[in-house]
Structure 1
Amino acid sequence: MTSEVTALAERVLAIGTMNGPYVLPTGRILDFYFDEYRVAADPALLAETGQALARLLPPRIDVIAGLELGGVPFALAVSAATGLPAALVRKVAKPYGARLQVEGRPPPGARVAMVDDVIRSGRQITVAATALRQAGTDPVTALAVLIRPGNAKALLNGQGIAVAGVVDDDSAVPLRPRQR
C-alpha cells in the first residue's frame, strides 16, 4: 500500500468509523462500525475515494455498477473519475414502474465492475452479480471502500469475481474504534 493510499484509507476511516452499538442484518451487534454515508457526504473525500477505486479497476471494464444503496455514490464517483457509464443494481426489482433490478441498461456482454461501500460476507455482491448476469452482462470484479474480514474474497473469487478495496481490514490500516 502506497503512502498516498494509506493516508486516504486513514482519512476514510477517521471520518467513517462510528462507535456502536450497530446491529448487523444477522442480529450480531458491533461495538463500532463504518458509516459510509459520512464519507459519501464529503465531496472532496468522495472524489478521492472514487479515484482510488478507479485505480483498482482491472483492464477492459465497460460499466461501473453501484449496489443499492451504499455503493451508489461511490460507483458514481468512479464513473465520474473514469468516464465509464454507470448502472445501478437494486437488491430486488421494483414492483412498479419499469420493474427493473438493473437500472441504466448496460449493453449485453459488457464487463462490469460492481462497487459497494462495504464487503462483509459477499452476499450482496452475489445477488448483484446474479442480476447483472440475468441482464446479459459479465460482472468480473467487486470493489469496495472497506473490505471486512471473512470469507467474502474466497466466495467471490470462486464465482470468478475479483475483489479489491481502498481499505482491507486485513491490511495495515484496519477498522478500529474511534478515539473519543
Structure 2
Amino acid sequence: MYEACHLAGSFRLRSGQVSSDYFDKYLFEGQPGLLREVAEAMVGLLPAECDVLAGMEMGGIPIATVMSQLTGLPTVFVRKQAKAYGTAKTAEGGPVDGRRVVLVEDVVSTGGALLESCRHLRAAGAEVDWAVCAIDREQGGRENLAAESIRLRSALTRHDLESAVRT
C-alpha cells in the first residue's frame, strides 16, 4: 500500500496543513485488486450496528461501493456540498433518516471532512456514531471525531505504513 500511494514532496492538505508526504488514495483505488483488499479489510472494521454505508466524496465512494458489494449493505454518496439543482441533497442514493450510518473515508488527517458530512447526515435524521477509513494519518482526526461522539476505525495508520517500509 505504501509503495502504491505514498508521494514525497510538499503538499497542502484539506485541513490547510502542509505535509512532506502524501497518501494519494486514487493510486490504490484505481487498482482493482488493491481496492478490493482495502475494502475487505474495512468490512472487518464495521460495527455490528450498521444499516447504511456513507461514502465520502470523492475518495470514499469507490471504497464504500466495493464494501457494499461485499456486505450487501446499501450505500449513500455524500457530497461536500449539496448541488444547487435536481434533488439538492448532500447524501444521494437512499434514505438515512432513522438509520445507523457508518461514514466511509479513504484518508483521515484532522477529520474535518468527516465532521462536516456527519453534521449533514445527522441533520437528515441519520444516527452517526462510527467512521471507518483506509488510512489514518494520525494528525488528530481520531480525537476530533471522538469530540463529536464518532469512533474511528482504520485499516492502516501512517505508522503502520512507514513501519512496513522500514522492515
Would you say same fold, with TM above 0.5? yes
For 2:12 and 2:139, how far apart are their aligned partners in 1?
17
Structure 1's 77 and 99: CA in aligned 2 closer, same or farther, altered over 3 A?
same
1:153 aligns with 2:139: no
For 1:125 and 1:28, how far apart are their aligned partners in 2?
17
Native 8 Å contact 1:17 1:175 kept in 2: no
**RMSD across aligned C-alpha pairs, in angstroms?**
1.8
Name stretches of at least 5 consecutive residues in structure 1 with no aligned partner. Answer: 1-11
For 1:123 and 1:40, how far apart are their aligned partners in 2?
21
- Aligned residue number for residue 127 of structure 1: 116
Deviation at 1:96?
1.3
- Aligned residue number for residue 108 of structure 1: 97
Q: Percent identity?
A: 33
For 2:120 and 2:57, how far apart are their aligned partners in 1?
12
Residue from 118, 128, 132 that aligns with 2:107: 118
Name the amino acid aligned to 1:163. Answer: L
- Aligned residue number for residue 20 of structure 1: 9
Name the TM-score, length of structure 1 as normaliser: 0.85
Name stretches of at least 5 consecutive residues in structure 2 with no aligned partner. Answer: none
Name the TM-score, length of structure 2 as normaliser: 0.91
Alignment: residue pair count: 165
Residue from 12, 30, 35 that aligns with 1:41: 30
For 1:138 and 1:13, how far apart are their aligned partners in 2?
33
